[in-house]
Structure 1
Amino acid sequence: MGKRILIVDDAAFMRMMIKNIVTKNGYEVVGEAENGQVAVELYKQLKPDLVTMDITMPEMNGIDGVKAIRRIDPNANIIMCSAMGQQAMVMEAIQAGAKDFIVKPFQQDRILQAIERVLARAGQ
């Protein structure tokens, strides 16, 4: 059975891009959220194996989303998605508990590498 992924990004186009890449490679997308707040609620319900989390979003940004999810599940596997030039925010997200990051524009190989690496480290 493919690993279950929750995709979080305020841009529907970005969610679709990630979804296409991961489903094509044997992962199951169990949910999509347009901000950190929705992501936290979906995480509680769906208990995915991994979350891809955009940094800059309305309502609740990705860093606060990571913190909130990690309060629910300290072992949560979260990969941050950032635009170029967001290094300081990426560092903050890693300190908050994100396990890896990928930079937009996305490259399929880099997304898959990050997912495989994080899941391997988690022993899944």
Structure 2
Amino acid sequence: MGTKRLLVVDDALFMRKRIREIAETAGWEIAGEAEDGEQALAIYEQTKPDLVTLDIVMPKLDGVSTLKQLMQFDPQARVVMVSAVNQKPKLAECIAAGAIDFIVKPFDKAGLLAFFEKSLAADNQS
């Protein structure tokens, strides 16, 4: 199996950096980073990553709208929503729109590492 590639989408630079560092620790390659949904869609089209972490609240195009457009472009896209606790109502909409899972901020390094490792293990079994 080759290295898995991740697109990190969050309007907060510190959050993109944290997710990137944790993902790299778990053996992921970073396919790209975006600070809003419009950038995310453009980078996804160019890089076709194995997984996307997608923040819900962003400028220009929010995470829910980005997810819906992404799933229209690529119904096989694997997207994990990243949400603050107060966005839980939107998570059901995201799962219905095609997101495979969600992570609630603030997350700890061990929890996110376990999530990335679980994603790799699930792909190895398919």
> Is residue 2:74 matched to residue 1:96?
no
Distance 1:63 1:123, change over 3 A: farther
> Is residue 2:68 matched to residue 1:67?
yes
Question: Comparing both structures, which one devotes a greater share of its residues to helix?
Answer: 2
Tell me if the contact between 1:79 and 1:114 (Cα under 8 Å) persists in the aligned partners.
no
By how many angstroms is 1:118 displaced?
A: 4.2
By how many angstroms is 1:84 displaced?
A: 1.0
Tell me if the contact between 1:100 and 1:114 (Cα under 8 Å) persists in the aligned partners.
no
Partner of 1:31: 32
Q: How high is the TM-score relative to the length of structure 1?
A: 0.92
Distance 1:79 1:62 in 2: 10
- Give the root-mean-square deviation of aligned CA atoms: 1.7
The percentage of counterpart residues that share the same residue type is: 46
Aligned residues: 124
Tell me if the contact between 2:11 and 2:35 (Cα under 8 Å) persists in the aligned partners.
yes
> Is residue 2:68 matched to residue 1:84?
no
Tell me if the contact between 1:36 and 1:62 (Cα under 8 Å) persists in the aligned partners.
yes
Tell me if the contact between 1:77 and 1:118 (Cα under 8 Å) persists in the aligned partners.
no
Structure 2 unmatched ranges of 5 or more: none
1:61-112: per-residue Cα shift (whole Å, max 9, x none)?
0011111111111010000000012111111111111100001112223223
